[in-house]
Structure formats: C-alpha cells, structure tokens
Structure 1
Amino acid sequence: MTGLLLRLAGPMQSWGDHSTFSVRDTCTVPTRSALLGMVAAAQGRRRGTPLGDLTALGFTVRVDRPGTVMSDFHTVGGGLPAERTVPTAEGKRRPAGSGTVVSHRHYLADAVFTVAVTGPDDLVDQVHADLTRPVWGPYLGRRSCPVEQPFLLSGPVPDAVDRLDHLPLNRRRPIGDVDVVPVDFVTETPGAEGSTGRMTLNDVPVEPPPSAAVPTPRRHLHGRRYLAREVHVTTRELPARSCAGTGLDYLDRLAEHLRGARP
C-alpha cells in the first residue's frame, strides 16, 4: 500500500479522548478520530457526515517532540447583562450574574509529530488531492490550533511507514558523544523491534447505533460516538545524526532530504 507523510506541528495542539464540556482533555498523541476529521474537513464534509469510506486509512505516528501539557482556565459570559449571557440548551439565556461558564482546556505545547497515512492506492491518491487543496484548512485537534507549515511532506509514496526511519527529526541533537536517540512510534499493531507498551484511546468513530454485542461507546455532546481501541507505543533507537534541530536548521535539512540530497 502507498502512503502520505504529514508533519503535525504548531504552538498548541489538542487531541481529545474523553472530553466533557467542562474538562477538555488532550491525548499525548494525535487520535484516529481527529486525523480522520482532518481528512474529512479537507474534503468539505460537514459535521455528522458518514466516514465509512475512510476506515481503510491507517496511521503510524512518530513522536519527534512530545511537547508539554498545559492547561487553560477558560471562562465565557462573565459580567454580561441577561440579554447577552451564554445561551442554555433550551435556547434561553442564563440569568444576569450567573452567566459565567467555566471550563478547563488542556493542550500540548511545542509538540511535533510525523505521521504516515496508509491505505489503498486510490484512496491515498484522493486524500493527497484533498489535502493539497483543502476545502477547510487543517487544524491540530481544535480550530484554535492551526497547523504549521510544512504540513504535507510527500505525495503518494511506497513504504511510507519505513520512510519514517529516515526523515529528519524535528528536535535538537543531544549534547555529548551520543550515537543514537530514543524515538517513540505509535502503531495499530505491535512494533517489530524496540520496547513496546500499550495504551487505550477512545477514538474510533461509530456511525450507526451499536448493537448489544458492541461495547458501550463514548458519546460526544453532539451525538457522535467513539469506541475504544488499543495502540502500541514502541521506543526505537534512531541515529543521533537524524536530529536536525529546530527552526531554519530543520527546514533546510528537511528540504534537502525531500529533494533527495540525503539518503
């Protein structure tokens, strides 16, 4: 199968896993539901549109920089008169003096991920065309988190997952005489080498109501449903020379690699 290579970087990212209205969490890695949503947005699909034709897509995530979890204490509607307070679910307004809505929103700051998107050739070709000319621009989990360029690193290429081993790492090289650096890979199947752990994500979109035989899914406040899946986190050692730094140093190195100047 062919695949695409994406770079997910920006000042902030947020990949919700079990969010409620008042607490908006973030996973430490991009979720499947968010990545499918990114593709669907590029295609111009509106919220609630079925995504069944995208289920053949697979995602392998390389963690260039894990980032730092930060929390935003968020308020809406404080100090407003009754006619301008936050609407309620019934379409009315909250009483004056009690209109403040408080939420805690969590983000990843300064994180960078490189993602191999794989699938059948015709589907990958279509996704590449959609991401090249998106109807709605990509964002990193929330619309307040725009994606940094470069974003789409390659067109359809064979062995996209294997190419993650060779793309420059968007991180600084460790100080000292270091030959290798540990890098985490998040996959849907166990890694062939390295130390592997597992974690559960509630990020598989479900379209029809589940039958009694299907585990109860997480339900989003807009009616979307998500089932849990297990992913594998494999820590592998890559050559320290793969570390290309940050800023212009990284961009220059990446451009050289994509032009074929580096193996």
Structure 2
Amino acid sequence: MSVLALRLAGPLQSWGASSRFTRRTTESAPTKSAVIGLLAAAQGIDRDDQARLAPLAALRFGVRIDQPGTRIRDFHTAHHGATGKSMPLSERFYLADAAFVAALEGDHTLLTALDAALRAPVYPPFLGRRSCPPAQPLELGLHEGTLEDVLEHVPWQASAWYRRQQRSRPPQTLTVLREAAAHEHGAANTLPDQPLSFAAAHRRHTLRTVVTTTVPLPGAAPAPLPHDPFDALEDENS
C-alpha cells in the first residue's frame, strides 16, 4: 500500500466541516473534503468532474497534529460589489500558527500523480480558504506502508520557535485523527467531511468515521528553506 504525506503549515488555516450562514467555524485539524479539494486543485480538476474526483474521495485519510495552533475569531464585514449594500455581518474562525501532517492511503499510480501535481500545481494551494496560503512546501513524499505507519514515523513538522518553546517539556505523544479501517470496530467519532460532490450549485458531504489515537513524538524535521508559495506564478509572468 502507498501513502502520500503532506505538510500543512501556515500563519492561518481554516477547516470548516459544519459552518452555517454567518458563523464560519473551523475544526481543530484539516478535514478530508478540504484536503481532497486542495489535491484536485493541484491537478486542475473541475468541480463538476465527478469521474476524476471520485477516486480522490475514496482515498483513506488521516492527520497528525504536530503544532495545534491557536483558534482566533475574525469579525467580518463586506459590501456587495455591484450595489454597494452591506452584506450580513459574520464571524470567521481560524487556526493561527498550526502545523499538521496529513496522509492519504491508496492506489500507488494515483498517489504518484498527486505528488507530482503538488510539486507543480495548476492552481495555487490554500489551507481551507483562499486567504490561507501555506508557509512551506506541502509535499512530504510518497511512502510505502500503511496510513498508521506513516503518521507514526514522518518527522515532527512543528516550527523552530514552537520546538524551542517546548524544549523544557516537549510533548511525549502527538494526536492522530484517522479514518477507520474497514475491519475496525469500537469507539470512534464521525465528521461530515466525506465529499460526495464539489459542484458549486450542489455541494454534498456525508459522515466519515474517525478514530483518535496517539503516536510517540518522532524526531524533528530539519528547518525548512525560505519559501514563497507564489514564486512559480511570478516566474511564469516574468
């Protein structure tokens, strides 16, 4: 079995699973539907192209919380572009200074294509919302093994300042939220983030079974090189 690993880290992230009307919440970790949307955008897949989206949605998904971040609220105002009238006031919630390792298990050929797309995306990736670009490259490579193995052994992706802050009492374990395997039974939660359709006029999701576990703290990854996610666009326009 093959597993694609991603680093999801940035100044702001927002992973809504049950937002309604003027209150746009965020989960404490990336949702499957948002990460599948990110991968689809990297490949340039249209929202209505169900034939190409379905294999991505069928991948088994998990995420490890390497740096939990801080939940913040943005009191949001806006005006209608055509009429100038005020739009309803809304609250939008974000995770600030968080870092996660996301992993997807499935077909090797499909995951190889997705890994290549992350390295040269058709559309720029973002962390849940378009206003949340990643601070570091997303790709952590393609691995052989199970989802559980990869989430246990990929190096700790917390930022350097967070590691220094935790130096006196580093965490002994990291929390993992992973999609239950077919044979698993017992205590689990559900999230409404299994995508059925990304069509703008009729987005649909269903419940996904999620198991919460912990893994021992792995070794830390090397400090990342400086990274601007829009360098590729500037190169194309120069």
Q: Counterparts of 1:223 and 1:56 in 2: how far apart (Å)?
A: 19
- Does residue 251 (structure 1) correspond to residue 221 (structure 2)? The answer is no
After superposition, where does 1:83-94 map in structure 2 within 5 Å? 85-86=80-81, 93=83
Q: Counterparts of 1:7 and 1:167 in 2: how far apart (Å)?
A: 10
Which structure's CA Rg is the greater one?
A: 1
- Does residue 237 (structure 1) correspond to residue 216 (structure 2)? The answer is yes
The answer for the alignment partner of 1:23 in structure 2 is 23
Task: Tell whether the 8 Å contact from 1:5 to 1:117 is kept in structure 2 after alignment.
Answer: yes
- Residue 209 of structure 2 aligns with an amino acid whose one-letter code is E
Q: Counterparts of 1:37 and 1:46 in 2: how far apart (Å)?
A: 10
Q: 2:208 aligns to what SS in structure 1?
A: strand
After superposition, where does 1:44-55 map in structure 2 within 5 Å? 44-50=44-50, 51-55=53-57
The answer for the alignment partner of 1:159 in structure 2 is 145
The answer for the alignment partner of 2:196 in structure 1 is 206
- Residue 234 of structure 1 aligns with an amino acid whose one-letter code is T
Report the Cα offset of residue 140 of structure 1. Answer: 0.2
Q: 1:76 aligns to what SS in structure 2?
A: coil
- Residue 126 of structure 1 aligns with an amino acid whose one-letter code is A
Report the Cα offset of residue 12 of structure 1. Answer: 0.4
After superposition, where does 1:1-263 map in structure 2 within 5 Å? 1-50=1-50, 51-77=53-79, 85-86=80-81, 93=83, 99-154=86-141, 156-159=142-145, 161=147, 162-169=149-156, 170=158, 171-172=162-163, 174-176=166-168, 181-189=172-180, 198-207=188-197, 222-238=201-217, 242-243=219-220, 250-251=223-224
Q: Deviations over 1:92-115 (max 9, x none)?
A: x47xxx624311111011110012
Task: Tell whether the 8 Å contact from 1:22 to 1:103 is kept in structure 2 after alignment.
Answer: yes
Report the Cα offset of residue 73 of structure 1. Answer: 0.3
| Structure 2 residue runs without a partner (length 5+) | 226-238
Q: 1:131 aligns to what SS in structure 2?
A: helix
- Residue 172 of structure 1 aligns with an amino acid whose one-letter code is R
Range with greater deviation from structure 2 (58-67 or 137-146): 58-67
Q: Counterparts of 1:104 and 1:57 in 2: how far apart (Å)?
A: 32
Q: Counterparts of 2:177 and 2:7 in 1: how far apart (Å)?
A: 15
Q: Counterparts of 2:223 and 2:63 in 1: how far apart (Å)?
A: 19
- Residue 157 of structure 1 aligns with an amino acid whose one-letter code is H
Distance change >3 Å, CA 119–CA 36, structure 1 → 2: same
Identity %: 41
Q: Counterparts of 1:133 and 1:243 in 2: how far apart (Å)?
A: 26
CA RMSD of aligned residues (A): 2.7
Q: Deviations over 1:25-56 (max 9, x none)?
A: 11111111101101110111223331212233
Q: Counterparts of 1:53 and 1:104 in 2: how far apart (Å)?
A: 34
Q: 2:172 aligns to what SS in structure 1?
A: strand
Report the Cα offset of residue 125 of structure 1. Answer: 1.4
Q: Counterparts of 1:102 and 1:177 in 2: how far apart (Å)?
A: 42
The answer for the alignment partner of 1:259 in structure 2 is none
Distance change >3 Å, CA 103–CA 251, structure 1 → 2: same
| Structure 1 residue runs without a partner (length 5+) | 78-84, 88-92, 191-195, 208-218, 253-263
Report the Cα offset of residue 118 of structure 1. Answer: 1.6
Q: TM-score, normalised by structure 2?
A: 0.79
Aligned length: 213
Distance change >3 Å, CA 199–CA 132, structure 1 → 2: same
